[in-house]
Amino acid sequence: MASLGASGLLFSSSSYCRSKGINAAISVPKLPRIRFSGTKTPLKLVEELNLRNGFTGKFPSENTGLDQYEPIKSTTSTATSAKLYAILEAVADRVEMHKNIGEQRDNWNTLLLNSINMITLTAVTMVGVAAGAPVLALKLSSTLLFSAATGMLIIMNKIQPSQLAEEQRNATRLFKQLYSQIQTTLALRDPTELDVKDAMEKTLALDKAYPLPLLGKMIEKFPEKFEPAVWWPKSHESPRKQHKTQGKNGWSEDFEEEMREVIEVIKKKDSEDYTRLGNLALKVNKILAVSGPLLTGIAAAGSAFVGHGSWPAIVAVTAGALASTVNTFEHGGQVGMVVEMYRNSAGFFTLLEESIGSTIQEEGLEKREDEEMFEMNVALKLGRSLSQLRDLARKSSTSHVHGSTIDEFASKLF
């Protein structure tokens, strides 16, 4: 009985332990279930996360299986960007070319000026010596030197190295400006075919306005009439305007009237003044270009008759000294560069007039560039603040009322 009671106690204890263990296991609280939305599969979730991180590759399609892929981004924008980058590389190459050639032609001006002056002054010295003791060798040498100086001056005055150098400096600056514009387009938005066309036309227009070769394509240095430089293509829709489709873009009749007043001031003051100065500089350059070779030619003729009285020597020495002075004034003073500077400045104001005028004439207000951005660009190009630009328009409008002429130029830069 004692053993039976002990075994029963043990069985009861073990059963109790097992029962307690089971109950403890069953009483553990259940973890909440995590439910995934049926609208997003794991594949779409991965795709969305990749897109947020900037991945624009291809993802497997749920409908077609893992073997087939569908593009996430159209290749049209990539192809257009590639075209614009190709133009950007060509523009960068042109910047370097025009810069190098500009430095080379500036060296031409310095070297030719010094060489011709040395030749001329050496010939003058020989004539002076030969006048006291006529020596055939001195007479021949001075005549040859004056003749060489005449030929070199004719060539130098024809090509105007200082003007050539200024042309290349302007071309370098304008190509750098175009380079920056293309970079800005690529940075701000996806380029379009219109951007590519616009950049291409601007590049070709600059190539035509500032040619690199001298023979056949060189800009005429002594035209009959002074004309502003033109380095932009024919007017067409600007790439910036195609993105302006929200309302009137801030444009109003009052602002249009302000811009018309600004155009009028540019025409009557800035453009007219630079055209007048350009004509004056062109006339002076023509006179100097003819006078230099003419004087050295007279000196060459006078040196050939040295020994036949005193007058040939006097004529040769005087003409040679004057030729050296004229040559120094023309090429040392870089009169040709001044002509080109006026030509480029007049072209700048012509371009500004056309830009403002074409924008005002645009019929659809939503197609115009934003009014605030447009006003800021005009003010910056004229070297004025926004308030100064508005004051200029107000003064121009007031002068019409009183029948007077505004005594202020539109540009404060130059």
Compute the Cα dihedral for 390, 395, 401, 405 and give only its sign. negative
Mean pLDDT, rounded, of the chain: 82
Q: Is the pLDDT of residue 129 over 80?
A: yes
Q: Which residue has the higher pLDDT, 371 or 97?
A: 97
- Residue labelled with tokens 């009028």: 264
Helices (H) and strands (E) in the chain, counts: 12, 2
Most confident of 73-77, 160-164, 305-309, 395-399: 160-164
First to last CA, the chain: 127
Q: Is the pLDDT of residue 36 over 90?
A: no
Q: Which amino acid is at 317?
A: V
Q: What is the pLDDT of residues 188-240, one digit of tens each?
A: 988 999 999 999 999 999 999 999 988 888 999 999 999 999 999 986 555 65
The whole-number pLDDT of residue 40 equals: 44
DSSP 371: H
**Exposure letters 212-234 (e unless 16+ CB within 10 A, then b):** eeeeeeebebeeeebebbebbbe
Quote the pTM value. 0.76
Q: Alpha-carbon distance 360 to 382, whole Å? A: 18
Q: What angle do CA 189, 191, 195 make, to 5 degrees?
A: 125
Q: What is the pLDDT of residues 335-358, one digit of tens each?
A: 999 999 999 999 999 999 999 998
Q: Are 359 and 185 in contact (CB under 8 A)?
A: no
The whole-number pLDDT of residue 227 equals: 93
DSSP 241: G
Range from 40-54, 135-149, 354-368 carrying the lowest mean pLDDT: 40-54
The whole-number pLDDT of residue 47 equals: 47
The whole-number pLDDT of residue 314 equals: 93
User: Which uninterrupted H or E stretch holds 365?
Assistant: none
Q: Alpha-carbon distance 401 to 7, whole Å? A: 127
- DSSP one-letter string for 192-223: -HHHHHHHHHHHHHHHHHS-S-STTTPPPSS-
